[in-house]
Amino acid sequence: MRLEALFARGFRNLGALELTVPREGVVLLGDNGQGKTNLLEAAYYPVLFRSLRGAADQEVATFGGGGFHVSARFESGGRHRTVAATWSSSPRKKRLALDGVETTRVLDAVGAWIAVAFLPDDVALAGGSAGGRRQYLDRLLSLADGDYLRSLARYRAALAQRNSALRAGHRELAGAFEAPLAEAGAAIVAKREQRVEKVAPTYAAELAGLGEACAASIRYRGHAALADRGAWPAAFAGAIDRDLARGLTTVGPHRDDLVLELAGRETRSFGSTGQQRSAAIGLKLLEIDTLAAARGEEPALILDDVFAELDRTRQQALATRLLRTASRQVLLSAPRREELPPGLDLPVWEVARGEITPRPVRGELTELRGSRGSRVEMPT
């Protein structure tokens, strides 16, 4: 899967963009605060139609602007496709289009364009709260499995309604949402457990390949019985008094965790910063493999300053792992070229004050339409 062109208006600090993207990818170089991450964020936005940094849409729009537009033209399965999102602040509304046809359901457009993003903050996947790891699992499985995405949407809707009834003290009304919660929740628990069990050996191998000396493991922590829909009524009955007192649902996969361990000890509590970073990278490598297997083609990679905190040995190990498949398109950023692993051979764009300028470093030239609308040349 390859990004062919990226178009953006009113997105963060970026100028109006119409970029033709090299088939193999590109390196974005520039000082911090100039727009490198914003450009990567624009490239990832059409995957899930939300910020890869978790920002609300109003925060993504240029300060003082009335909204933003971002669209991607990409190649998938030998076809040339487009996906687009337009958000307006007044009235507050988001419109989506897939292959030029507007769709009213996010579920119909999510996952048409696939990329895996590596961010500096991803260390929180290993060292942070359970919520981040649940989001990771939900994103991974939603992009790989449309049935999971639909179950997740139904579960979240029913959970919000049951919690609202609990906060109002309406015990009987809360019970009305337990059947859809059980049906969707059982599917979620079952698929999460199956996926984690399947990838556990790969996770251990990935961390070993990154230079981790301790044996790594991964497991799902939750109530295994809830993979069976028939176990939910008893779980609800046992928790109803507690749920009413707290005004929220205390059983279900929205409270589960993905446990990462090194030498039998939880990485979150006992791992060093370097070990936690390696564990987070291991999760991202699993995401690449899972999506590639599910879709039958490699997802694009979006790497935001991912090599900065790694020593040279781990930099080279990660670079080798990420680039070992020639068909992968890689979009990555760094403040300076010397902060990247040696031998990384990609076209270079310089980013300054939201403007993109190609650096003619090698190879034949391909057309790029610059952010001011002028035609310039770029290396491939």
CB proximity list for 121: less than 8 A, separation 6 or greater: 53
Could you report the per-residue pLDDT of 89-116, keeping only the tens digit for each? 988 999 999 999 999 889 999 999 999 9
Write the burial class of residue 234 (CB in 10 Å: 0-12 exposed, 13-18 middle, 19+ buried). exposed
Could you report the per-residue pLDDT of 198-207, keeping only the tens digit for each? 999 999 999 9
Q: What is the DSSP string of 286-330?
A: HHHHHHHHHHTSPPEEEEESTTTTS-HHHHHHHHHHHHSSTT--E
Sheet order of strands, 216-221 included: 216-221, 257-262, 265-266
Q: How far apart are CA 351 and CA 315, in angstroms?
A: 23
Q: Quick check: pTM over 0.85?
A: yes
Domains parsed from the chain with CATH numbers? 1-112+329-380 (3.40.50.300)
* Residue 321: predicted pLDDT: 84
Closest CA to 200 of 259, 141, 116, 256: 259
Average pLDDT over residues 71-89: 95
Average pLDDT over residues 232-247: 97
pLDDT band at 360 (very low <50, low <70, confident <90, very high): low
CB atoms within 10 A of CB 325: 11
State yes or no: pLDDT of 323 exceeds 90: no
Q: How far apart are CA 199 and CA 129, in angstroms?
A: 21
